[in-house]
Structure 1
Amino acid sequence: MFKKLFGALEGESRQENQNYEQPQSSNDNYEDDYENENQEVEYDPDTLHGIHYDIEDFDNEVTSRAEAWIQDERSRGEELREKDTQSIYLNYRREVYKEWNNCDSDQMIRFEKANSLKYTGVQTSGFVKVDDDNPFLEPVHGLSLRDYTAMCLKISAGIDYQEVCKAMGIEPIIWEELNTIWPQRMGEDTSFTVTTLFGQYYAESVTIPQLENLKTEISEEGLANLERIKTDRYFYEELAGARQAAYEYGIDGAQWILDTFGINLADFQSVAMQWMTEQNQNWNAEDVTAFSNHQQEKQKEYAAKFAAEQGGNIADDVSF
């Protein structure tokens, strides 16, 4: 269950990153202006809007330009789908933001991520905004999403779920319901608030008093490797690539990471979410591409290693 949940999280992140890595070429002239003028702009820390204008004025300008374009298209007999309209607004939002802030594409993408809920209805890791009245966040059997995440962390670290249930003072049947209802809510919540908040809690290695005495053993080597993937992004990408290669060759990637590097699933996924959050908050397209390329290269290297250990790829024995 946990591997599937985090596979979905990481998959969405990779797709999201691909969407952001190549901004619209039509905006390149604004990036040139930014580089030439090199003007400093102060941004609101929450919205990442420039503080030199009103947000309402910004939204009105985007609407004015987008609606003018839409009206022109329709006057020429073009039929626009909702997706087309959204794309038009997206492009003009990018255009106005870069004009008004004289910024580069990386800053624009950070702005989009910070305001993803407002403009697209979808949450982004690192910029989660929580509505206290959100029905998807209502406790289940008196246990919040934070409580559920803390339990998941302990179980994915290798602690038996019955021990976790005992510490929480609940019956195993309650855990089964928790582990059904919360993932179900993640699937039903189109804003991805539950999923993103779950990932944020995981990144924080959240704990609760009832579970603080439940600990897993970790070797000195494992502890050293854990500290390294927290600070060395390239080492983390190497292990992420190795884990994916392991799965592709029928090996339990999470178990292989534990056996080889001494890092359990909970700790590895916590670091994965930390890097995802840091990347979103400090977006740099050049770095993102470099990290992605490194992971792919390492995945190929480990795939070759696993293939050799299994006697080579099946395709190696086929003559064409």
Structure 2
Amino acid sequence: MSTINELYQNVSGKNKDEYRDYLLVLDRMDWHSYDYTTWPCADLSFQDLDTNENYDVWPFKPNLNEPHWVDLNNQFPSGIRRYGYVNKFVMPEQVRELSHDDATDILNDIKDLKDNNAEEFNDQINEYGFSDEKHFLWGIALLDDAEEKAYDAADDFLKEQKAKLDAQMDAHVEAAEAGGLLDPISGIDMETWAAANAKIAGGMDLEEVLKVVGTEKPIWDEVSAEWTARMSQDTTFAISKVYGDAFMNSNIGKFASEETNQGSASSSSNGSGGLNEVMEDFELYIKIMCHQNMGATQGKDAASILQEYGLTVTDWSSVGAHWSPKMATDTRMALQMGELMEKYNAEFASAKAGDDIDF
């Protein structure tokens, strides 16, 4: 078996011909007996490392193309997980017998005792098989890591499914284009019609919209009826997808000029005020959603509720387009949504849909 001194060699800067014998030493090493806590390469003289740096497990490790040790320091660079790994902590049997959710709830309840009742805290961690406070905190960290990994796995699955659905919808749109379903009607294409409807919903006068589109009301009415009919008959929803994209991003085509967009929406439509705030605050988005839902049951107009937050109907469409894809691929956000909806539905129900709004 190789000795410590034979394994602990600095070959940095050497080529492989110069340390061929050293490669043979490594090859003869019985790695089943390797214990990173006892070999010089463990580098355990300090516990926490800078998480922005990459560290070697021995002070003279060569580059990645040369022989090197398994880099355990990069797996656990700092914190209680590193401390627990170094000290070979294991989860007590009392905790392993519990489900993940029950174990998490119990340990967090015990953690809450730490600052209020030190004696009971120590009794509780001993009852659940932890040797000391650090062992206990490591146990909580281990459960948290397992939960994060589960969430990440769920998110990866959702993202994979969304990518498949997006690809399928793109194929439907291409087929619709090839089949003529997206051909303009009386010179008005789908994007223009959708953008025009968005402007109308945002408060732009119909006459001004028709002027930008370059048509008259009788033709507009015919075009609207035909586009609506096409959408209702499209079982692939390709037309609806194109419509939705243009409606939520209505500053396109004939409506792209700055002059066209002036005065056509609320003060928030240029990226300020209420729109900016709700784009950055997920809780606020859920709050407004609940406000509208509860307001509808009490006879309040959804548009008027949006105005209380400095938003237009068009703004709200943009907000939905911003948050919906995130919720579709973020399990944590979906769970948070349920908690927030419960909170704000109760608030607005008791306040009659926000008679007393704290915004």
- Structure 2-normalised TM-score? 0.49
1:224 alignment partner in structure 2? 273
Larger mean CA deviation between 171-180 and 209-218 belongs to: 209-218
Give the AA of the match of 1:290.
Answer: Q
Post-superposition shift, 1:308?
8.8
Cα distance change on mapping 1:140 and 1:285 into 2, 3 Å:
same
2:320 alignment partner in structure 1? 272
Cα distance change on mapping 1:180 and 1:158 into 2, 3 Å:
same
2:16 alignment partner in structure 1? none
Matches of 1:128 and 1:232, distance apart in 2? 34
2:153 alignment partner in structure 1? 104
Post-superposition shift, 1:211?
6.1
Post-superposition shift, 1:210?
5.0
CA offsets, 1:198-245, max 9 Å, x none?
222233344223563232263479932110111112111111111121
Whether contact under 8 Å (2:199, 2:250) holds in the other structure is: no
Matches of 1:207 and 1:142, distance apart in 2? 16
Mapped pair 1:175 → 2:230: no
1:5 alignment partner in structure 2? none
Aligned pairs for 1:1-320 (under 5 A) are: 104-116=153-165, 123=169, 130-131=174-175, 132-210=177-255, 212=257, 213-214=259-260, 215-216=262-263, 218-219=266-267, 223-258=272-307, 260-280=308-328, 283-306=329-352
Q: Secondary structure at the match of 1:135?
A: coil
Cα distance change on mapping 1:192 and 1:211 into 2, 3 Å:
same
Give the AA of the match of 1:273.
Answer: A
Matches of 2:268 and 2:208, distance apart in 1? 25
Matches of 2:354 and 2:282, distance apart in 1? 27
Give the AA of the match of 1:137.
Answer: L
Give the AA of the match of 1:247.
Answer: A
CA offsets, 1:69-125, max 9 Å, x none?
xxxxxxxxxxxxxxxxxxxxxxxxxxxxxxxxxx8232222222221277xx6x39x
Q: Secondary structure at the match of 1:136?
A: coil
Whether contact under 8 Å (2:192, 2:213) holds in the other structure is: no
Post-superposition shift, 1:173?
1.7
Whether contact under 8 Å (2:268, 2:275) holds in the other structure is: no
Whether contact under 8 Å (1:218, 1:262) holds in the other structure is: yes
Cα distance change on mapping 1:158 and 1:174 into 2, 3 Å:
same
Give the AA of the match of 1:302.
Answer: F
Give the AA of the match of 2:161.
Answer: E
Cα distance change on mapping 1:117 and 1:229 into 2, 3 Å:
closer
Whether contact under 8 Å (2:273, 2:310) holds in the other structure is: no
Matches of 1:109 and 1:197, distance apart in 2? 23
Cα distance change on mapping 1:112 and 1:138 into 2, 3 Å:
same
CA offsets, 1:157-187, max 9 Å, x none?
1012122012221011222223322233222
Post-superposition shift, 1:257?
1.3
Post-superposition shift, 1:295?
3.0
Matches of 2:238 and 2:251, distance apart in 1? 17
Of all paired residues, the percent bearing the same amino acid is: 22
Give the AA of the match of 2:274.
Answer: N
What runs of 5+ residues in structure 2 fail to find an aligned partner?
1-151
Alignment coverage as a number of residue pairs: 199
Matches of 1:308 and 1:255, distance apart in 2? 12
Whether contact under 8 Å (1:139, 1:145) holds in the other structure is: yes
Matches of 1:291 and 1:182, distance apart in 2? 35
Matches of 2:208 and 2:193, distance apart in 1? 14
**Higher relative contact order (CA closer than 8 Å, sequence separation 6+):** 1
Whether contact under 8 Å (2:182, 2:239) holds in the other structure is: yes
Matches of 1:209 and 1:202, distance apart in 2? 13
What runs of 5+ residues in structure 1 fail to find an aligned partner?
1-102, 310-320
Matches of 1:135 and 1:104, distance apart in 2? 41
Q: Secondary structure at the match of 1:104?
A: helix
Cα distance change on mapping 1:242 and 1:308 into 2, 3 Å:
closer
